[in-house]
A and B are shown apart, each in its own frame.
Chain A
Amino acid sequence: MNRTRIYFDNAATTPLLPAAREAMEPFWNETFGNASSPYATSRAARMALDGARTSVAKLIGAHADEIVWTGGGTESDNWALLGVAFANLEKRGHFIVSQIEHHAVLESAQTLCELGFEVGFARPNALGVVEVGEIVRLMRPNTLLVSLMSANNETGALQNVAAVARICHENGVLFHCDATQSAGKMGLDVDFAGENGVDLLTLSAHKLGGPKGVGALYIRRGTRMKPLLRGGAQERGRRAGTENVPAIAGFGVATNAACCDLESNTAHLENLRDRLENGLSEMEVEIIARNAPRAPHISSFIVQGARAESLALSLDLAGFAVGTGSACASGALEPSHVLAAMGYAPHQAKSALRVSFGTQNTVEEVDEFLETLQRLTERG
């Protein structure tokens, strides 16, 4: 049976860095203790949590006590919205989320509506960027929080998070930023270079070379919110549940690696993307959000007249893993809500493929991909 030889779906998940895997190793058996217990084997676990917390804080310019471990990006997104809502149950209020957020944000917003809050959905422009004016237009006196991602997971388009953060603070509104896709791929600072920046920020380990099942929520000191998971004093009472020590240790090391090689990694990813897009421009392909500022590792494009689902499966049979729309529980592919929000017709959205690079990818792989794609589209 065919196996994946070339992996181009790093926005979905990344392979675990060997150093991260090594860092996780002792915590399965040797020092398996519960980080909250008082004895020696637990102290080591506790130290691992602290070390990783410092690493993750450094990645985004935060204080270590502002980093809370979660079960992943989805939990962080859910918590950011619901935690603020739970702190405002008496008066309720209004939230703003963009239409191009991950479903972890969009479906939490749906839950907010069911809880009696109001939600405004901010539209992106044709380049997949939510303009600051759109946020201003939706802002109300009772707006509690604005949620806007830093880089979109399908198009890579960077959002105006610094400007939106400023507007939020001028209006006494909290700002949540889902940084799942940009963290470790580009410079990121919770203060946005001196501005009074983000209040809540979502991170996920497995998108930057760490293990699956762990993430973090940055919570600025003094942010008014409530826990989502209850029943334990872990994480200073903010997030109950025994910490996933091995995974957190791996997250910390992966973060260090990303911090350390940030500039060279970014340059490498940009080089791969540009090589891909130069090659694509010789085919009947439209690159999505090409003229927007973008994260370095994501390229989405519409292959005119092709069915992306079949193309992705043919590519898989040929040994390439690429993304299409979001996958559902059964594994079937649904057309992208992001492309729909940008104004693409359903038939165009069904012709869209996403390539997302990781540091392990090479230019030779890009060339091989272009050759295969050309062959498959000509076969059409």
Chain B
Amino acid sequence: MAMSGGVDSSVAAALLVEQGYEVIGVTMKLWAGEDDPFAAHRFGGCCTVGSSEDARRVAHLLDIPYYVLNLQDEFHARVVDDFVAQYSDGKTPNPCARCNEFIKFRAFLERADELDCQFIATGHYARIERDADGTTHLRRGHDTRKDQSYVLGMLTQHELRRVLLPIGEMEKPLVRERAAKLGMAVATKPDSQEICFVEDDDYAKFVIDRAPQMALPGPIFDENGVKVGNHNGLARYTVGQRKGLGIASANPLFVTKIDGPNNTLIVGSREKLAHDGFGATRATWTQTIPRAGQKVAAQLRAHSVAHAAQIVAADANGFEIQFEAPSQGVTPGQMAVLYDGDEVVGAGTIE
């Protein structure tokens, strides 16, 4: 049972114990952060000493073994380095999805094998249904506001067969209530939101510290290639951004493209943010590869609406999507998850 010290995984662990599983609680230590033990941020948030202490207390309350696994090397190589590299390439990466894929499920599953565990479990709000033949279906969580199936979208049968999501059927208020009833101090702990390794939510500073070229000023062009201004370092911009461009214009201008290799920002009108469709790489399919023409709903961010669309082409490596109506939010680097109703069909990285 992956335990972050938060209320969701704490209640999930309690449910597994109630259901009669032999449970081992584990916190994955992913990020060392700053060296200063007196720094204020060391006292809260994900991946801090404080969060593992919360998890340890819950494990003690449930009378289950509890360990902290050191996955810092894997996390740094697979998630942090990639985050900086993608950003520097003008993409908007999704480190949480990548962490789920490479660390919280793949590396964790390896560790589970080494401890002779049959299943791994997490506190995500999503549901896994199992057919009689063992095939699994990944569905949206019962609590639609909390649904986290998006960040699990890249899991395949290989992982899903061995994953348990004990709170997928529950709504958040009920989870908190349950935690309080169990006497867990974490019942009222706030939800974590930010990317766990970026301090104060300051992505620009984090990227610039590791990729200094991202702080270099450069030109801003409009769609016609006319220079309309200067930017002060690509790390400070994301696609869709309107504020802070410093350009006087009759119509509001938005960042429509970030060209990392040329240190250039492209801006355009709001209409330019809408796309007819998109292509994706690094495809994963929950079941079999869908046929062209299949209707799906494409979700392009966590907690955003899914857009009605259809699959133009799909294979083991990538797919192409056509929206029913031009849609915003196509951000290179972000993950697109395709749904059929509330079931995840597959996922890929937007090109």
Contact = CB atoms under 8 A, between A and B. Distances in A.
Interface in A308-334: 309-311, 313-314, 316-317, 329-334
A332 B69 contact: yes
Contact of A379 (B53, B68, B116): B116
Interface stretch (B59-67, B226-234, B332-340): B59-67
A345 interface: no
B145 interface: no
Contact of B49 (A307, A313, A314, A329): A329
Interface in A190-235: none
Given A310-B111, A317-B24, A331 B116 contact: no
A291 interface: no
B70 A310 contact: no
Nearest to B112: A310
A2 interface: yes
Contacts of A313: 67, 115
Interface string A327-358: 00111111000000000000000000000000
B4 interface: no
A181 B273 CA distance: 67
Contact of B114 (A2, A310, A333): A310
A314 B68 contact: no
Contact of A331 (B24, B64, B67, B72): B67
Contact of A330 (B29, B63, B64, B115): B29
A314 B67 CA distance: 11
Contacts of B115: 310, 313-314, 317
Interface string B16-33: 000000001001010000
A1 interface: yes
Interface in B37-90: 37, 49, 52-53, 56, 63-65, 67-70, 72
A334 B70 contact: yes
Residues of B in contact with A, size category: 20 to 34
A316 B70 contact: no
A122 to B, nearest CB: 24
A305 to B, nearest CB: 11
Q: Would you call the interface of chain B mostly helix, strand, loop, or mixed?
A: mixed
B68 A332 contact: yes
B52 A331 contact: yes
B57 to A, nearest CB: 13
A316 B116 CA distance: 13
B18 to A, nearest CB: 16
A307 B114 contact: yes
B56, B70, B72, B116 interface centre (most CB from chain A within 10 Å): B70
Nearest to A306: B114
Interface string A1-15: 110000000000000
B214 to A, nearest CB: 30
A1 B72 CA distance: 28
A39 B27 CA distance: 53
A331 B68 contact: yes
B185 to A, nearest CB: 18
Contacts of A307: 111, 114
Nearest to A316: B65
A351 to B, nearest CB: 12
Nearest to B62: A1
Contacts of B69: 309, 332
B116 A2 contact: no
A373 B68 CA distance: 21
Interface string B234-277: 00000000000000000000000000000000000000000000
A2 B63 CA distance: 9
Given A309-B70, A316-B65, A330 B49 contact: yes
A2 B65 contact: yes
Nearest to A311: B114
B236 to A, nearest CB: 33
Nearest to A334: B70
A333 B65 contact: no
A314 B116 contact: yes
Nearest to B111: A310
A332 B65 contact: no
Given A307-B114, A310-B114, A379-B116, A330 B67 contact: no
- 5 closest residue pairs by CB, A with B: A310-B114, A332-B29, A331-B68, A332-B70, A332-B68
Interface of B: 24, 27, 29, 37, 49, 52-53, 56, 63-65, 67-70, 72, 111, 114-116
23 contacts: A1-B65, A307-B114, A310-B114, A310-B115, A314-B114, A314-B115, A317-B24, A317-B115, A329-B37, A330-B27, A330-B29, A330-B49, A330-B52, A330-B53, A330-B68, A331-B52, A331-B56, A331-B67, A331-B68, A332-B68, A333-B70, A334-B70, A379-B116
